[in-house]
Structure 1
Amino acid sequence: MDSNSSSRFPWSIVGFDMDGTLLDTSGDLAAAVNHALDSAGRPTLSVDRITPMIGGGARHMLAQGMAATGGCTDDELDVLHRRLLDYYEANMVVHTRPYPGALAALDALTARGVTLAVVTNKLEGYASRILGELGLTDRFACLIGGDSLGPGMGKPSPAPIHAMIDRCGGGTAAFVGDSIYDVKAAQAASVPVVACSFGFLDRPVAELGADAVIDGYAELLPVLERLGQR
């Protein structure tokens, strides 16, 4: 790489969602949902059925699982949410792995002088533990979880994206995600957003309204370069 490569790359910060974007967490999240469902005497659901429910936080995910198996009251959801969290805390990184090519893409961005961040609706403590157990913590300048900025300040609020930019030192930024929460948060923060077609989609990826779509991480850097030329 020549000495001018980093200066030509259009983004000084690239942020990533975690679940369904950087990491395939579907197996562990589905196991936690099914643990809660089973404890309530409900039928369990396939990983494929649960995957589109991921993205808005654990309680939202569980509420959809309960709705799919007969519904529940808020009080019952409170109890089952705690059961889900307790199970997940003990089984966070059984099946969870980075998506193919993700680590190579992070390396390539870092080599271009890009500052990397994670912005997720997962609780910050959980996200931090997962990154640590996978040996990924040091790759990111900051981690912002769904509870990092206070109640109601997770995605789709633009606040986490603004905080990401501030904590990374400012500059041009782009975001990579897989859900409508990611797209809305980035758009509200006036940040271009790339959607992952391989993520935890609750609708066709073209309907998310992202600035670009990738089908795999080998496409990410060229797509980001094209977005920077607009």
Structure 2
Amino acid sequence: MTSFPFEIVGFDLDGTLLDSHGDLAHAVNHALSIEGRPAIPASAVRDLIGGGAKKMLAKALEVTGGSVAEARFDELHQSLLDFYEDNIAVETRLFPGGEAMLDGLAQRGVKLAVVTNKLERFAVKIFKDLGLTSRFYTVIGGDTLGPGRAKPRPDLLNLMLERAGGGRAAYVGDTTYDTGAAAAAGLPCVAVSFGFNDRPPLDLGAAAVIDHFDELIPALERIA
């Protein structure tokens, strides 16, 4: 047992642990170019992220001229995924302070997990490419349990607990998908203000909000 108040800490991926908006923007704009749509600045793509690639693409199409037929959307979605898989960790990096924060939790005996709505194979590939795989006891994606079980449903967080063998847990995220899933799973959630927030950080419903990863360990101790 660890003296730290949480034995398990789970993290969302995009906009929480990793700043992935640059690589996601390139993939979205690749799909938009196929449809003859204008590119969206990477800074604006940040506001479209959350809920998975389909939601991101649908929002991008809406802001560049409107939706397309379902069959065409499926083609564009597949093109986006193919491009992203081939260019998944070109610009993606841990947010500032992330490495020291992960070290600090590991030194306290905490089991670390990733629970994301990104496809599992993409999440696994990103952490492998960035040399971070060994830090986490599990990486769970939005499709790990099949259709309809991604966040904000609690299913993926329940799987995180199951794979850890139980224990007191907290979750860290940046959107209402994360705070909603944590609430449904009965876990406290810390929100990061530097992520791809779909609401103002203080309105996400988190137990605490941090502005830098230096603040995470104290915040977890406080909310416990």
* Common fold: TM-score over 0.5: yes
Q: Structure 1 residues 10 and 84, CA, compared in 2 at 3 Å: closer, same or farther?
A: same
C-alpha RMSD of the superposition: 0.9
Deviation at 1:151, TM superposition (A): 0.3
Aligned mate of 1:29, from 5, 24, 31: 24
Match of residue 202, structure 2, among 186, 203, 206: 206
Instruction: Name the residue aligned to 1:66.
Output: 61
1:187-206 C-alpha deviation (Å, 9 max, x unpaired): 00000000000001122111
Please state how far the C-alpha of 1:46 moved relative to its aligned partner. Answer: 0.8
Is there any run of 5+ residues in structure 1 with no aligned partner, and where?
1-5
AA of the residue aligned to 1:37: L
Correspondence for 2:13 among 3, 18, 28: 18
- TM-score relative to the length of structure 1: 0.95
Provide the secondary structure at the position in 2 that maps to 1:8. coil
Task: Report the alpha carbon displacement of residue 160 of structure 1 after superposing the two structures with TM.
Answer: 0.5
Equivalent residue number for residue 3 of structure 1: none
1:193 matched residue in structure 2: 189
Shift of 1:78: 0.7
Structure 1 residue 38 and structure 2 residue 33: aligned?
yes
Give the whole-Å Cα distance in 2 for the aligned partners of 1:123 and 1:104. Answer: 27
Q: One-letter code of the match for 1:129?
A: K
Residue number in structure 2 paired with 1:47 = 42
Give the C-alpha shift of residue 55 in structure 1: 1.6
Segments of 4+ in structure 1 off by > 6 A?
A: none
Q: Structure 1 residue 44: deviation in Å?
A: 0.8
Unaligned runs of 5+ in 2: none
1:75 Cα offset (Å): 1.8
Following TM superposition, by how much is the alpha carbon of 1:73 offset from its aligned partner in structure 2, in angstroms?
Answer: 2.1
Q: How many residues align?
A: 223
- Give, in whole Å, the separation in 2 of the partners of 1:43 and 1:18: 27
8 Å Cα contact 2:50/2:198 also seen in 1: no
Whether the aligned pair in 1 keeps the contact of 2:116 and 2:142 (CA below 8 Å) is yes
Q: Which residue of 1 aligns with 2:172?
A: 176
Between the aligned partners of 2:135 and 2:158, the Cα distance in structure 1 is 20
SS at match of 1:33: helix
On the 8 A contact 2:2/2:110 being kept in 1, the answer is no
